Each structure stands twice: as structure tokens, then as C-alpha cells.
């Protein structure tokens, strides 16, 4: 059994690499996009606000699986074709940006009006107020929900198997079917658990760091 | 020299007229107490002075610079840049303190002088330490606001405003959200400021403070300045009926 596990590790690690790529690219792109959308959502530009609200509704109101299939299979019929990785990234980034937008919006709206007023009376500009006063407080507030989303994303990456991408999930399934042995499922489970454990510890430390001014 | 000249100020929120032609003049070194029933427009007046609210009509001149000018068909404001610069000639102290919770006491004090006024950080820190000593909170230099009592937070807020070297200090009911035993320490700090000839406008329900410290008392109700005069004129010989009624009510 141990020999078998060692023999499949290289393939499984290759699958992890695809999974990690999807994960990191989604995080790196969707968090800034989500923040940008959140600023639009709390702005007083009515058209922008409503458009983003609609966008968030669509992205959160339909399954991520459907969105993946749409970008890969449906768009080519109107002449837009992406390779499977690009299609997957578009779906993941647009989907997660919608969730992050809502998280950041709630965070920004949780900052009391008095903070803006104090900054105003101290002569701070809008950008200074956001950068120095509002966002540092928002980051602390949103850390728990962002942590949740991030851990969900680790598991959601497995959805890319519908596009025939050789991520950890698909690699595992292929091995199980080839060898008539369910051990790869267990190994994959351990990989996912390790990834979520690392993230859990990371976010716990971040929360501790940011909550120092609460004590 | 006049530090604040506000003439014929009109301000409304939707259909609610809150300021109906207010005049307020404050000379250098004066301490003006603004008293009056709740909802009379006292906070709104202060907030109009530093453009936390914008006025519909009237003229506001702060320390010789025009923030808003009456054109005959409404108030015309200085450019955003100028308005911001003029507004922060006035330090403001709020009822709810509004300290920045993610910054230590010292960081609260040096934030705007360093970020906005672009002053030398080491120098600003030195001045901030002197200010903290003045308000009696040197030992709280590296503490986060949440650990402080209300009275201590309010004294930090006063020090934070002073760190900008303002020409004028505005106070909006600085002791109203404090437990009675904590108001003394804040009032003492304000008294000391008055003794140093800081120009101050103080909205307050502390009649003792208004009587003893103020050089001028303004009584506001229903969006008008109903009476204005020395503490003796206001408290000992009130002539305005509205004022007499107000003083009777708060005595009880
Ligand atoms: N932002 C606002 N929007 C609508 N109405 C307001 C606003 N701020 C104050 N008001 C109203 O204006 C009136 C005067 O309020 P305020 O200036 O706070 O009075 P005071 O400070 O004398 O108690 C009140 O009726 C209050 O409800
Ligand atoms: Mg008020």
C-alpha cells in the first residue's frame, strides 16, 4: 500500500499544481476586483451601483458549474473561444469577485460615519481617508468571511474537472478508474485537508494580528 | 481680529429648515458657548463651519479666508482643495470622540500632521508627546483607544485636534456621552485651553462651563439665534421669552 501511494504521488502532485494555479490566480485577481466592485457598489453613481448589484445577483444566483460550462462551451457558439484554463479562470474570477464584492461592501458600510467625519475635520482627502482610516478597519472586519471564501475555493477548484483539466480531482479519479483502487481518494482527501489547514492557521494568525487593538 | 464670520446662514435637510439666517462672529481668543434645546440646529451650525454640511445660502469666512460666499442666488464654495485647507484650520471634537480604533493614541495624534500637513515625523512626535502630557495622558501613548475610558478618549481627541495647530477649536457636546464623574477631566482640559486664549466654539449643556468660561453665550432654538450676549446678560438678565423658558426647564 505504501509502495502504491509512493508510486502515484508524482501524478497527484502534478494535479495539485493545476489546482494550486487555479486557486492562487483566482485569489490574486478576484480580491482586488471584488474590492473595486465594492467601491462602485457604495459610490453614489446610480448606474454603476445598479449594474454591480445585477452582476452580483447573477454570479451568486447561478451555480459556478454552470458558469464554467458557459464560458467554455456556450461562448464558442457566438464565436468567442477560450482554452479550458482561460475559461476556468474567467468563471472563477468573475464568480469569486462577486462574493468578495459583497463581503467588502458590508465591511465598508460597517465603518461608522464618525470615522469619515473625523478624517474630514483633519483635512484628509477621500483617498487618504480610504487608505489610512477606512480600509485598515475594513480588512479586519472582513477577515473571517474572506477566510471562509478562501477555504471554499480550495474545494471549488475541483469543479474544473468538467472541463477535462487535470487538476487534483480529475487525476485522482483517473487513477481510481485505472487501478481499481480507492486509495487515491484518501490521498487526495489528505491533500485538500492539508491545504485548508495551512489556510486556517494563516487566517487565524492574521486575525490575531489585526485584533490587537481590540484587547 | 475675527476668526469666524458666518453671515445669514441657511441650511435645510430635504424639507426641514434647520438654520434660518444665522449670524455668528467669533473674535480671536473668544470662547463662545452655544446653548439651546435639542434639535435647535446647534450641531448643524458647527458642522456647516467646517463643511461637514454644506449651506444653501450665506457667507462663511474662517481666519480671513472665504469658505463660502453668498452670491445672491445661493452659497458659492471655495475649490475643494481650498475648502479642505480652510476647514482644517478648525479642530473639531465630537460627542462620540471618533478616535481611529486601529491606531494607538500617539498614532492618532500624528496621523494628520504627517499625512496631511506633511510635517517632519520626528518633530510631530515630539509635539504630540507634549500635548499628551498637557491632557494628562503621557502614560497612554502606546495604548489603543478601546482600552481608555470615555473621558480619556475625549482628551485624546482634543489632543489630536490640537496636533494640527488649529486656529479655532469646535466642540460639539464634548461631555454629553460621558458618565458624570468623567466630565470634570474633559472640562478641565477645555478650561486650560481657554486660559491659553484658544479661540473656541463650544456647543454644550454644561451651564456651569458656559457661565464661567465663555466670553459670549449664544442661545439657539428653532433655527434662529434667539439671544446672544455675555454670560451675565444670558444667565442673570434674560429678556428673550424662549431663553427664560429654556433656563427654567434645565434648572429642574
Ligand atoms: N443629516 C441630517 N439629515 C436630516 N435631518 C437632520 C440631519 N442632521 C440633523 N437633522 C435635523 O436637523 C435638526 C437640527 O439638528 P441638530 O443640528 O443636530 O440640533 P442640535 O445639535 O441643536 O440638537 C433636527 O431636527 C435634526 O433631526
Ligand atoms: Mg447636537
pLDDT per residue rounded down to tens, chain B (252 residues): 899 999 999 999 999 999 999 999 999 999 999 999 999 999 999 999 999 999 999 999 999 999 999 998 899 999 999 999 999 999 999 999 999 999 999 999 999 999 999 999 999 999 999 999 999 999 999 999 999 999 999 999 999 999 999 999 999 999 999 999 999 999 999 999 999 999 999 999 999 999 999 999 999 999 999 999 999 999 999 999 999 999 999 887
* B54 at interface of A, judged by CB pairs closer than 8 A: no
Q: Which residues surround ligand 2, an ion (CB under 5 A)?
A: B 43
Cβ neighbours of residue B220 under 8 Å, at least 6 residues apart? B22, B34, B35, B36, B40, B41, B42, B45, B226
State the Cα–Cα distance between residues B237 and B133, nearest whole angstrom.
40
B 173-232 → A contacts, CB under 8 A: none
State the Cα–Cα distance between residues B175 and B186, nearest whole angstrom.
7
State the Cα–Cα distance between residues B164 and B3, nearest whole angstrom.
17
Sequence spans of domains, chain A: 2-214
Q: Is the CB of B42 under 6 A from ligand 1?
A: yes
Protein residue closest via CA to atom 5 of ligand 1: B13
Burial class, B17, CB count within 10 angstroms (exposed 0-12 / middle 13-18 / buried 19+): middle
State the Cα–Cα distance between residues B226 and A62, nearest whole angstrom.
62
pLDDT of residue B251: 80
What number does the ligand 1 atom closest to the CA of B47 have?
17
Write b or e for each residue in B165-198: b if 16 or more Cβ atoms lie within 10 A of its Cβ, otherwise e.
ebbbbbbbbbbeebeeebbebbbebbeebbeeeb
d(CA A120, ligand 1 centre) in Å: 19
| End-to-end Cα spacing for chain B | 39
Burial class, B215, CB count within 10 angstroms (exposed 0-12 / middle 13-18 / buried 19+): middle
* B119 at interface of A, judged by CB pairs closer than 8 A: no
Nearest CA in chain A to B48: A121
State the fold for domain A2-214.
MetI-like fold (1.10.3720)
Contact call for residues A48 and A40 (beta carbons, < 8 A): yes
* B161 at interface of A, judged by CB pairs closer than 8 A: yes
- What is the ipTM for the molecules in this complex? 0.95
pLDDT of residue B65: 96
Q: Is the CB of B13 under 6 A from ligand 1?
A: yes
Distances (CA, A) of B134 to B31, B131, B156, B163: 20, 5, 10, 12
Contact call for residues B168 and B200 (beta carbons, < 8 A): yes
Chain B positions touching A120 (Cβ under 8 A) are 50-52, 87
Residue A215 pLDDT > 60: no
Query: Does the beta-carbon distance from A122 to B102 stay under 8 Å?
Result: no
pLDDT of residue A75: 85
Residue B78 DSSP class: P
pLDDT tens digits for range B62-90: 999 999 999 988 999 999 999 999 999 99
Amino acid at each position: 500500500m505504501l509502495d502504491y501511494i509512493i508510486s502515484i504521488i508524482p501524478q497527484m502532485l502534478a494535479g495539485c499544481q493545476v489546482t494550486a494555479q487555479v486557486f492562487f490566480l483566482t485569489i490574486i485577481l478576484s480580491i482586488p476586483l471584488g474590492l473595486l466592485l465594492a467601491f462602485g457598489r457604495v459610490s453614489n453613481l446610480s448606474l454603476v451601483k445598479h449594474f454591480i448589484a445585477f452582476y452580483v445577483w447573477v454570479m451568486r444566483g447561478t451555480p459556478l458549474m454552470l458558469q464554467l460550462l458557459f464560458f467554455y462551451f456556450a461562448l464558442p457558439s457566438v464565436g468567442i473561444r477560450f482554452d479550458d484554463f482561460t475559461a476556468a479562470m474567467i468563471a472563477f474570477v468573475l464568480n469569486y469577485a462577486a462574493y468578495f464584492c459583497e463581503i467588502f461592501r458590508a465591511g465598508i458600510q460597517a465603518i461608522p460615519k464618525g470615522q469619515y467625519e473625523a478624517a474630514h475635520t483633519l483635512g484628509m482627502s477621500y483617498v487618504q481617508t480610504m487608505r489610512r482610516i477606512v480600509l485598515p478597519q475594513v480588512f479586519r472586519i472582513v477577515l473571517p468571511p474572506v477566510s471562509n471564501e478562501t477555504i471554499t475555493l480550495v474545494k471549488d477548484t475541483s469543479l474544473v474537472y468538467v472541463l477535462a483539466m487535470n487538476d487534483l480531482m480529475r487525476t485522482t479519479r483517473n487513477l481510481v478508474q485505472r487501478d481499481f483502487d480507492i486509495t487515491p481518494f484518501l490521498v487526495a482527501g489528505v491533500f485538500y485537508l492539508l491545504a485548508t489547514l495551512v489556510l486556517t492557521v494563516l487566517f487565524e494568525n492574521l486575525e490575531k494580528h489585526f485584533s490587537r487593538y481590540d484587547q | 481680529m475675527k476668526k469666524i464670520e458666518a453671515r445669514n446662514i441657511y441650511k435645510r435637510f430635504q424639507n426641514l429648515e434647520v438654520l434660518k439666517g444665522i449670524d455668528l462672529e467669533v473674535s480671536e481668543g473668544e470662547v463662545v458657548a452655544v446653548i439651546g434645546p435639542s434639535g435647535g440646529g446647534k450641531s448643524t451650525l458647527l458642522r456647516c463651519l467646517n463643511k461637514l454640511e454644506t449651506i444653501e445660502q450665506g457667507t462663511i469666512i474662517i481666519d480671513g479666508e472665504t469658505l463660502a460666499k453668498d452670491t445672491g442666488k445661493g452659497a458659492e464654495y471655495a475649490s475643494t482643495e481650498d475648502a479642505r485647507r480652510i476647514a482644517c484650520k478648525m479642530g473639531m471634537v465630537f460627542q462620540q470622540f471618533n478616535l481611529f480604533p486601529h491606531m494607538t493614541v500617539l498614532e492618532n495624534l500624528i496621523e494628520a500632521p504627517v499625512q496631511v500637513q506633511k510635517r517632519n515625523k520626528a518633530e510631530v512626535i515630539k509635539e504630540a508627546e507634549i500635548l499628551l502630557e498637557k491632557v494628562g495622558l503621557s502614560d497612554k501613548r502606546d495604548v489603543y483607544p478601546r482600552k481608555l475610558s470615555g473621558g480619556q478618549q475625549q482628551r485624546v481627541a482634543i489632543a489630536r485636534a490640537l496636533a494640527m495647530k488649529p486656529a479655532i477649536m469646535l466642540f460639539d457636546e464634548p461631555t454629553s456621552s460621558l458618565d458624570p464623574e468623567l466630565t470634570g477631566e474633559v472640562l478641565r482640559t477645555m478650561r486650560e485651553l481657554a486660559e491659553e486664549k484658544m479661540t473656541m466654539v463650544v456647543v454644550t449643556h454644561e451651564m456651569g462651563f458656559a457661565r464661567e468660561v465663555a466670553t459670549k453665550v449664544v442661545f439657539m432654538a428653532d433655527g434662529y439665534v434667539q439671544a446672544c450676549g455675555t454670560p451675565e446678560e444670558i444667565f442673570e438678565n434674560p429678556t428673550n421669552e424662549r431663553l427664560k423658558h429654556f433656563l427654567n426647564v434645565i434648572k429642574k
